[in-house]
C-alpha cells in the first residue's frame, strides 16, 4: 500500500491535464476537472524506477502489459507527453544508454537494429512509396501515399534539378526519392545506406524501373564519402543526421562539403529540437539506439562553419504528426500480421512508439525542419522562390 501511495504521489506532478489512475481496486484523480483519460496499473511501479527514468518505467510497464490505457492510446499520450519536462532522468546512471559509441561498427549495428527488422514488416504499414519520413499534406484529403509523393516532389523542386546533374542521397532508404529524381529530371543519382535490407530493396526497385544507367546504391558510411572520389551537384539527406551523434554533426557537414561541387544545393531534412538534449531513454533503448536529435541552431552553426549559405528553413512539424497518425492507423489495421512476425511485447512497443512520437510532434517537444542551402555563393538561382 505504501508503494502505491508513493507512486501516486509521484504522478500527481503531472496535473496539467486531469486523468484517472486505477490500481488494486482503488481510483485516484490527478489534476482538477473531469479526467481526460484513464491509466489502469496492474501493478505498482517502484519510485526508484520512476525517478531513474520516468520514460523507461512507464514505457516498459506498457510493453509488459502492466499498464493499460482505457480508450485511445494516442489521445492519452497527447495529453500526458505535453508534460515531458517533468519527467525524471538520471543521466549519470543511464550514461551508457544515453551516450553510445559513434564508431562506424557500432553505428552500423544501431542502424541495422531498426531498419533491418524486415522489409515485409515495413511494407505492412508504410505506403507504396516505402517512405519512412515526414509526408507533406498539401490538401486536407491527401492520402498518406499522396503526402509522400508531395514530399518528394517538394524536395526535388527545392533542389532545382536539371537533366544530367549528379545527386547524392545520404540515407536513401528504399530509394523512392532517387527513383523519382531519375524519372522526372533525368539526373545521375547515388544513394548510400547502412541498412542491408534497404540496400537490397532499393537495388531491386532501381532494376525494376530500368534505371541502372541512372542510379546506383551503395552500403556506405557517410564518413567514407570524401575518399570515394565522387562529386555531386546536389545533395539531399532525409531523416539520417539524427543517427550520426552530436559529436559528429560537424563531421557530417564536412563530409557533405567535400563531395559537393561549388554552388551546389544541399537539402537537409531532419527531426529537430529547440534546445540540445541527449534524448529520451525509452526511445534510445528500444527504438533508435544511439539516436540524437539536433537543435536547429547547432545544425545552422555547423553549416556556417563550412561556408554553406542558408536559403530557407521550413518547419513541417504538424505534417509529421499527421504522418505518424497514418502509420499508427495502418499498423493497427495489420496488427494480426505483425503478431505472426513478432511477440506481443514488440507489438505493444511499436504501438507505443508510433503514438508517442505523434504526440511529441503535436506538443512541440520535437520539430521537423528542412534547411535548403548552397555551397558557397550561387548567384544563378531565381530571385524569387522557385518552389
Catalytic positions? 357
For residue 368 the three cell numbers come to: 521537423
Secondary-structure percent of the chain, ordered helix, strand, coil, rounded to 5: 45, 20, 35
Q: How far apart are CA 309 and CA 189, in angstroms?
A: 23
Contact predicate 51/90, CB 8 Å:
yes
For residue 357 the three cell numbers come to: 512520437
Contact predicate 152/131, CB 8 Å:
yes
Q: Which residues of 372-384 are buried (b: 16+ CB within 10 A; e: fewer)?
A: bbbbeeeeeeeee
Strand, helix or coil for residue 286: helix
Q: How far apart are CA 131 and CA 167, in angstroms?
A: 18
Label the pairing between strands 67-70 and 166-170. unpaired
For residue 189 the three cell numbers come to: 543519382
For residue 64 the three cell numbers come to: 509488459
Contact predicate 337/52, CB 8 Å:
no
C-alpha torsion angle, residues 337, 341, 345, 349 (rounded to 10) = -70
Contact predicate 281/334, CB 8 Å:
no
Give the HSE-up count for residue 61: Cα atoms under 13 Å, Cβ half-sphere. Answer: 20
Amino acid at each position: 500500500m505504501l508503494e502505491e501511495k508513493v507512486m501516486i504521489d509521484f504522478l500527481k506532478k503531472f496535473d496539467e491535464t486531469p486523468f484517472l489512475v486505477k490500481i488494486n481496486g482503488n481510483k485516484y484523480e490527478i489534476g482538477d476537472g473531469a479526467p481526460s483519460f484513464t491509466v489502469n496499473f496492474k501493478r505498482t511501479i517502484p519510485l526508484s524506477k520512476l525517478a531513474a527514468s520516468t520514460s523507461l518505467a512507464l514505457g516498459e510497464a506498457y510493453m509488459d502489459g502492466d499498464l493499460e490505457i482505457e480508450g485511445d492510446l494516442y489521445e492519452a499520450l497527447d495529453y500526458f507527453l505535453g508534460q515531458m519536462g517533468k519527467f525524471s532522468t538520471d543521466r549519470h546512471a543511464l550514461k551508457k544508454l544515453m551516450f553510445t559509441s559513434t564508431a562506424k561498427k557500432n553505428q552500423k549495428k544501431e542502424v541495422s537494429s531498426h531498419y533491418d527488422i524486415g522489409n515485409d514488416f515495413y511494407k505492412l504499414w508504410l505506403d507504396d512509396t516505402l517512405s519512412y519520413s515526414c509526408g507533406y499534406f498539401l490538401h486536407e484529403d491527401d492520402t498518406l501515399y499522396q503526402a509522400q509523393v508531395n514530399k518528394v516532389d517538394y524536395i526535388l523542386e527545392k533542389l532545382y534539378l536539371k537533366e544530367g546533374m549528379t545527386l547524392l542521397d545520404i540515407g536513401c532508404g528504399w530509394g523512392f526519392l532517387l527513383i523519382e529524381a531519375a524519372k522526372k529530371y533525368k539526373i545521375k543519382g547515388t544513394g548510400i545506406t547502412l541498412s542491408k535490407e534497404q540496400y537490397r530493396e532499393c537495388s531491386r526497385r532501381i532494376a525494376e524501373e530500368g534505371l541502372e544507367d541512372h542510379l546506383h546504391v551503395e552500403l556506405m558510411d557517410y564518413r567514407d564519402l570524401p575518399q570515394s572520389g565522387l562529386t555531386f551537384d546536389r545533395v539531399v539527406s532525409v531523416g539520417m543526421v539524427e543517427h550520426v551523434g552530436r559529436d559528429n554533426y560537424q563531421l557530417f557537414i564536412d563530409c557533405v562539403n567535400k563531395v559537393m561541387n561549388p554552388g551546389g544545393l544541399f537539402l537537409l531534412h531532419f527531426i529537430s529540437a529547440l534546445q540540445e538534449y541527449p534524448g529520451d531513454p525509452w526511445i534510445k533503448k528500444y527504438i533508435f539506439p544511439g539516436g540524437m536529435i539536433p537543435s536547429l541552431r547547432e545544425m545552422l552553426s555547423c553549416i556556417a562553419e563550412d561556408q554553406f549559405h542558408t536559403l530557407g528553413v521550413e518547419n513541417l512539424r504538424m505534417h509529421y504528426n499527421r504522418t505518424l497518425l497514418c502509420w499508427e492507423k495502418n499498423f493497427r489495421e495489420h496488427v494480426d500480421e505483425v503478431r505472426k512476425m513478432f511477440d506481443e511485447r514488440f507489438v505493444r512497443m511499436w504501438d507505443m512508439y508510433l503514438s508517442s512520437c505523434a504526440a511529441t510532434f503535436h506538443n512541440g517537444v520535437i520539430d521537423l525542419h528542412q534547411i535548403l542551402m548552397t555551397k558557397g555563393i550561387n548567384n544563378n538561382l531565381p530571385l524569387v522562390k522557385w518552389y
